[in-house]
C-alpha cells in the first residue's frame, strides 16, 4: 500500500519484542520466576520430554503447558526475523538447533511474528487514515465557511485557495489551463524542496487515489 508512512522494515522497530512488551528495562520478580521456569526447557532432558509430548497426548489429554521463550531465545529469533521474515527448511532446522527448540516451534514463532507484524502495520495504517480523514474534514469545513462568506458578499472577485499555500489567491493571477481545465496561478509556485519536506512531516501523505500529479502541462 502506497500510503504507508514507512516501510515494513521501519515498522519492525516499533513492534514489541515477545517477553519485553511490558517490562522494558528491569524484570519484575515474576519475570525472574518465569525465567527460572524457562531454564528447564534448555536442559537436554526437557528437550527429550518435550519431543515426546508432541507425539503422545492420546490417552487422557494432559493439560497443555505453555512454553515461555527465554530472553536469549527471543533475541535470536528477533535477530533472525529482521534478516528474513520467512525461513527455508535448512534455516529453520539450524535455528532450532541453535535455540534448542523443535523446528515446529521456530516455525510457529515466525508465523505468529509475521501475524503480529502485520497487525501492527494495519493499526498504523488505520491511525494514519484517521488522521487523514480528520484533516480532510477540517479542510472541508474551511471551504464551506468560505463558500458561505462568498455567498454573503453576493458579488466579489472569485478567489481560489492555493493547494500549496492554502492561501486565497487574487483572481488577477489566475488562468485556466486549456488542457486539464484547471485553474492555475502564476503566484502559486510549487513549494521548495525544503518546504515540501517540512510539509511531508507535518501533514499526512496523500492516499494513492489522490496522489496523482497534475499533467506536465500544468
Partner DNA sequence: TTTCAGTCCGGACTTACATCA
Partner DNA sequence: AGTGATGTAAGTCCGGACTGA
User: Using CB under 7 A as the criterion, which residues of the chain lie in contact with DNA when the complex forms?
Assistant: 16-23, 28, 30-31, 33-34, 37, 54, 63-69, 74, 86-87, 89, 104-105, 107-109, 111-116, 118
User: Considering the complex, what minimum distance in angstroms separates the CB of residue 99 from DNA?
Assistant: 11
User: Considering the complex, what minimum distance in angstroms separates the CB of residue 148 from DNA?
Assistant: 43
CA-closest candidate to residue 117, choices 161, 86, 147: 86
User: Considering the complex, what minimum distance in angstroms separates the CB of residue 32 from DNA?
Assistant: 9
User: Considering the complex, what minimum distance in angstroms separates the CB of residue 104 from DNA?
Assistant: 6
User: Considering the complex, what minimum distance in angstroms separates the CB of residue 10 from DNA?
Assistant: 18
Quick check: 105 and 85 in contact, CB under 8 A? no
- Closer by beta carbon to DNA, 60 or else 63: 63
70 C-beta neighbours (distance < 10 Å), count? 18
- Closer by beta carbon to DNA, 112 or else 137: 112
- Closer by beta carbon to DNA, 78 or else 207: 78
- Closer by beta carbon to DNA, 115 or else 200: 115
160 C-beta neighbours (distance < 10 Å), count? 17
Distance CA 37, CA 18 (A): 16
Is residue 64 packed enough to be buried (19+ CB in 10 Å), middle (13-18) or exposed (0-12)? exposed
Beta bridge partners of 79: none
- Closer by beta carbon to DNA, 33 or else 131: 33
At residue 146, the 3 state secondary structure works out as helix
CA-closest candidate to residue 31, choices 42, 44, 22: 22
Distance CA 81, CA 15 (A): 12
User: Which DSSP symbol is given to 216?
Assistant: T
- Closer by beta carbon to DNA, 114 or else 182: 114
* Residues listed for the chain: 218
User: Considering the complex, what minimum distance in angstroms separates the CB of residue 67 from DNA?
Assistant: 4
Amino acid at each position: 500500500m502506497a500510503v504507508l508512512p514507512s516501510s515494513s522494515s521501519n515498522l519492525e522497530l516499533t513492534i514489541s519484542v515477545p517477553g519485553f512488551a511490558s517490562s522494558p528495562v528491569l524484570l519484575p520478580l515474576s519475570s525472574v520466576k518465569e525465567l527460572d521456569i524457562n531454564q528447564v526447557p534448555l536442559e537436554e532432558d526437557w528437550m527429550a520430554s518435550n519431543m515426546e509430548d508432541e507425539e503422545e497426548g492420546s490417552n487422557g489429554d494432559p493439560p497443555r503447558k505453555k512454553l515461555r521463550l527465554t530472553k536469549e531465545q527471543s533475541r535470536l529469533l528477533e535477530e533472525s526475523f529482521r534478516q528474513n521474515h520467512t525461513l527455508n527448511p535448512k534455516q529453520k532446522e539450524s535455528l532450532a538447533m541453535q535455540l534448542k527448540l523443535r523446528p515446529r516451534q521456530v516455525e510457529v514463532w515466525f508465523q505468529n511474528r509475521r501475524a503480529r507484524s502485520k497487525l501492527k502495520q494495519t493499526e498504523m495504517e488505520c491511525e494514519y487514515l484517521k488522521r487523514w480523514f480528520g484533516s480532510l474534514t477540517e479542510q472541508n469545513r474551511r471551504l464551506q465557511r468560505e463558500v458561505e462568506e462568498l455567498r454573503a458578499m453576493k458579488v466579489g472577485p472569485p478567489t481560489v485557495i492555493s493547494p500549496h499555500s492554502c492561501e486565497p489567491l487574487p483572481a488577477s493571477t489566475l488562468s485556466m489551463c486549456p488542457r486539464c481545465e484547471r485553474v492555475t496561478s502564476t503566484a502559486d509556485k510549487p513549494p521548495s524542496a525544503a518546504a515540501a519536506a517540512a510539509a511531508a512531516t507535518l501533514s499526512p501523505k496523500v492516499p494513492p487515489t489522490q496522489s496523482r500529479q497534475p499533467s506536465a502541462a500544468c
